[in-house]
Structure 1
């Protein structure tokens, strides 16, 4: 899965002031990624506020992204949930044409045991017509995927990667060590993406990379090449913005930064709200210093 090595970006879904999808802004954001060195795009993930999009809106988002991308970058689609039967049915019935892989999050809220997580993804693997990227994000799901569970799941032919977003570098390194050599451990945590990649990871599915696309994707290329000094120079240049964009929730922070870049409005859907003026001002100050 060479398509999944490097920098993937979890795309936001821009809204206008009335709360409708802003398709022109979405196209601008896609072009920003393509023009600034990003390697692949993730559609309808958490950052895309997929849980507050209707089925019809999801199809509109997919159509706009495909049209704007025009085959230039590989596309990954998010298909997950906390009802295994619903996820399996979606994988069996959805039109997944044009996508190279499925990103599927560990069930949230139910808090399954490790065996429950394994059985869920076993069913996902059996139903998916595309390669599967596991997604471990305990901060959102309430349960962590243990290294042993990931190792078991990595034995399935079409389970090709994990987006590891526990924020635990030791756990990530154990996944890299104990899974097969062709299994990709992808960082889902922007702050440790460089360290994970240098430790043998396959890169990142990023949020901040959506705004700081050129430097963040260059950072990952340096780390994939083992260029430690160059990669950390860019990491420390970007680092402050990573803390800030997650300070008041995702994608609230990244949308504020994208607004300052002139790419989209910062509107989000309830129960999310825009970042406050203080954080917005600090993000603007960071950007002003960054660009000078």
Structure 2
């Protein structure tokens, strides 16, 4: 086996792990595949003859690529969901189809992904690599360009936020419904300050490709921006139970067209997911009130 064949084999052996790391960092299967492909490009152009742990080297490369993407997103205050994959030539393995991305999201947990999106890039990287993939802090520190102690603090802050996720049934059900109902009423009547009170400062509003095609933004970050998005709107949204959790639906002619799924951190709304994909809607247990 020549050197190039060896590189290809080693990379393919690690592809699944690298994709999992990148997806949990970026929250998008398409972006994760792009990060993995970038790792392959860098590997093919590097001399790794002195690398003892190629899997660790590749994980570091993917982490740095993902960190750059997260920092770019943060700077622009926008998300790249819904972009089409780019054809990178014959060595690229096709990006996951939408149904595969849904399966990946389900395997991570939608509530966790929402909270991860509220973390800063460095916090997210530290938490994902250490808590989800057991990467030592000294290796993470090298990626971030910080001390191991500072990296531990980043992961600890992220962990506290993640541990605040309200799992179904862990918070009083009627209270959860009251919060969602109050949000919808404040949205309809344009009570901006009330919306701000109900939203977590780092709230994330996401829309799937079907909703984006109808004119919504793919992602909106922060309480002020999300409150402005909803203030005076959501006139047709009605309180509903979605998979036994409080949410909202928008129906036309008795048919549900869009669903609003809420993730709460304590008494604050930390995430709102707008879903219009008919395939996903068909799998949901929906009951309007």
TM-score, length-scaled by structure 2? 0.30
Question: Which structure has the greater CA radius of gyration?
Answer: 2
TM-score, length-scaled by structure 1? 0.30
